[in-house]
Amino acid sequence: MNREGIGRRRFLAQAGGVSALSGLPLLTVRAAEAAVLEKGTVRIGLTPVFLDDQMSFTARWREWFQEQLARPVAFVQRGNYREVVDLIRAGKIDFAWLCGYPYVRHQREMRLVAVPLWHGQPFYQSYLITDAHNPGIRALADLRGTVFAYSDPDSNSGYLYPQYALISAGINPATFFSRTFFTWSHRKVVEAVSIGLASGGAVDGYVWETLAEVRPDLAGATRIVEKSPFLGHPPFLARHSIPEDELRRFRSVLLGMKDDLQGRELLGRLRLDGFVEGHPGLYDGIVRMVERVHRP
C-alpha cells in the first residue's frame, strides 16, 4: 500500500475514535453534561483543541475556574463550532471559547467577554500549508486542481480566509480544487497534509505554531505557503441573556489568570500570555471577509 493509502487508513482510524487529542473521553463529556443540570453550574462550551494531554488540562482548568468563581463548573464539549454556537444561542450554555467567524455572524446573540493575548497581542493568522517535501507549491495559486483540507465550515482561519483569498483573486473556490474535505480539527488539517491525504490545508496559525513547539515532527512535515493578515484571536463569548454580574465576574477571572500562580501555569500550557477585555473592532477584518464571501 502506498504512503497516501496508509496515511488515509491511519487518519480515518484516528478521526473515528475518541482521542485525548481531539476531545474529552465520552464518559467525561456525559459527566459534564449531567453537571449542567445542577443548579448554579457555570456551563462553558469548548471545541476540539490540540493539547497532547487534553483530559488532564481541562480537568485542572475546570478546578481552577471553580475555585475562582466559587461555583460548580462544567465543560460542555462538542466536535465542531456549529454545535457549540447552537448551544450558546439557545442559552443552554453560559460561555464558550469560539472563533471570530461565528461571533461576527451571530454578534447580536452573543456578548464578547475576553480575547486571548498571544505573543502579547490579541491577534492571530490563518496559515495555508502544504507538504514540506513538495517544493513545487509556493503559493495558494499552485494548489489549483489538488485536494485541500479545511478544518470547519464555521472557522475563520480554517475556512473563511482561504475562501476570501480565492474570491478576491477572482477565483471560484468551488471549482479551484479537485476535492475538498473537513477534518473538524485544526490539528487534523496538519495531520492530513503531513501524511499526503491533502496537498494543502487551512489552519489556525496559533495551533500550527504551538504544534511546532510540542510536536515539531508533525508541524515540520508541513510548510507554510501563505499567511492571512492579522485578525482578532478566537474570543470567549457569553450567551446574550447572561446576567451582567455573572459576565463581569467571569471576565474578571479570565483577565486575572496572568496574576495567579496556577492561572499562569495554565496559560503556559495554552501558550498564551493572558486575556484582555477586547472590543468588537478587533473583528472588523473578519466582518469584511464575511461581507465579501457572502456577497449575493
pLDDT in tens, 222-274: 999 999 999 999 999 999 999 999 999 999 999 999 999 999 999 999 999 99
Measured at the CA of 11, the angle between CA 5 and CA 16, to 5 degrees, comes to 130
For residue 8, what pLDDT band results from cuts at 50, 70 and 90? low
Q: Which residue has the higher pLDDT, 116 or 14?
A: 116
- Lowest-pLDDT range of 24-33, 110-119, 261-270, 278-287: 24-33
Q: Which residue has the higher pLDDT, 36 or 295?
A: 295
- Residue 22 has a pLDDT of 36
Phi first, then psi, for residue 127 (nearest 5°) are: -110, 130
What would the pLDDT profile of 145-190 be if each residue is shown by its tens digit? 999 999 999 999 999 999 999 999 999 999 999 999 999 999 999 9
Q: Is the pLDDT of residue 109 over 90?
A: yes
For residue 28, what pLDDT band results from cuts at 50, 70 and 90? very low
Residue 234 three-state SS = coil
For residue 47, what pLDDT band results from cuts at 50, 70 and 90? confident
For residue 36, what pLDDT band results from cuts at 50, 70 and 90? very low
- Residue 20 has a pLDDT of 30
List the end-to-end C-alpha distance of the chain, in Å, as a whole number: 46
| Burial grade of 253 (CB within 10 A; 0-12, 13-18, 19 or more) | buried
Please answer whether residues 204 and 250 qualify as being in contact, where contact means their C-beta atoms are separated by less than 8 angstroms.
no
Q: In this structure, what C-alpha cell is assigned to residue 258?
A: 496572568
For residue 66, what pLDDT band results from cuts at 50, 70 and 90? very high
Please answer whether residues 196 and 133 qualify as being in contact, where contact means their C-beta atoms are separated by less than 8 angstroms.
no
Q: Record the pTM.
A: 0.87
- Lowest-pLDDT range of 25-29, 54-58, 162-166, 224-228: 25-29
Q: In this structure, what C-alpha cell is assigned to residue 288?
A: 469584511
- Outline where DSSP puts E strands in the chain: 42-46, 73-77, 95-97, 110-117, 123-124, 126-131, 147-150, 179-182, 200-204, 222-227, 231-232, 236-239, 274-276
CA distance 193 to 132: 9
Average pLDDT over residues 129-156: 95
Q: In this structure, what C-alpha cell is assigned to residue 276?
A: 484582555
Considering only CA atoms, which of 181, 167, 127 is closest in space to residue 293? 167
- Residue 35 has a pLDDT of 47
Strands of 222-227's sheet, edge to edge?
179-182, 147-150, 200-204, 126-131, 222-227
- Residue 39 has a pLDDT of 66
